[in-house]
Chain A
Amino acid sequence: DAGVIQSPRHEVTEMGQEVTLRCKPISGHDYLFWYRQTMMRGLELLIYFNNNVPIDDSGMPEDRFSAKMPNASFSTLKIQPSEPRDSAVYFCASSLGDTPNTEAFFGQGTRLTVV
């Protein structure tokens, strides 16, 4: 398996534009997590899914952020409209099962810059 795949690796967009980040989890994994990493806030959990269903979105900063998982092999994180303070590295991760001893596997991240 190629691991968790995120695209694009880098995204530069203007304030007010819509941004869509994409993630393909490891095949067979039933949990998918979206994290945001900034210098100020560190690594924040935004939302996570189990079997394509959103379980906890309490970390989503505001209504401009939305996430979907239409099937087991694809998820998107959308920001509309984007703002400069959304600039960060966004990570997707996946894990297998509902046992707490399973580790998460991370993608390489998408570095988002909003100008």
Chain B
Amino acid sequence: AQSVAQPEDQVNVAEGNPLTVKCTYSVSGNPYLFWYVQYPNRGLQFLLKYITGDNLVKGSYGFEAEFNKSQTSFHLKKPSALVSDSALYFCAVRDLYSSASKIIFGSGTRLSIRP
């Protein structure tokens, strides 16, 4: 069965420093991976996705993610964190081969950026 894991419940970073939010996945076929962000009292917003091709994917708000097939990881990164990046981040996978079109989300990582 497909799954994603976010090993860190919380990540704390100082403003201006680089940030990484970790995600690993398990799928039976080709992985289609996504990152979403949730601000307080809001729905999830799409950040970026990996389908195929370049392992480094660029998305909204200066975020990027690196796909690593050998490590089955899709970590979210940003070179310089902003206080406004503080939010809940979800990694998700969609695997056409195990259960068509089903999107599965990780448990979420709360990112806190201190001034």
Contact = CB atoms under 8 A, between A and B. Distances in A.
On whether the two chains bind one another, the answer is yes
Interface of A: 4, 31, 33, 35, 42-43, 45, 48, 50, 55-56, 91, 93, 95, 98-101, 103-109
Nearest to B108: A42
Interface residues of B, number: 26
Nearest to A50: B101
Contacts of A91: 43-44
- The B contact surface, by secondary structure, is loop
Contacts of A93: 43-44, 103
A100 B43 contact: no
A43 B105 contact: yes
B43 A109 contact: yes
A45 B101 contact: no
B71 interface: no
- Choose among A31, A33, A98, A100 the residue with the greatest number of B CB atoms under 10 Å from its CB: A100
B45 A98 contact: no
Interface string B33-70: 01010000111111001010000000000000000000
Contact of A107 (B30, B36, B43, B101): B43
Contact of A4 (B41, B43, B103, B106): B43
B102 interface: yes
A45 B1 CA distance: 14
A45 B102 contact: yes
A105 B46 contact: yes
Given A108-B42, A108-B43, A109-B43, A100 B101 contact: yes
Nearest to A111: B41
B104 to A, nearest CB: 7
B96 interface: yes
Contacts of B100: 55, 98
B32 A101 contact: yes
Listed from nearest, the 6 A-B pairs whose CB atoms lie closest are A106-B43, A100-B32, A101-B51, A106-B44, A43-B105, A42-B107
Contacts of B107: 42-43
B90 A98 contact: no
B49 A103 contact: yes
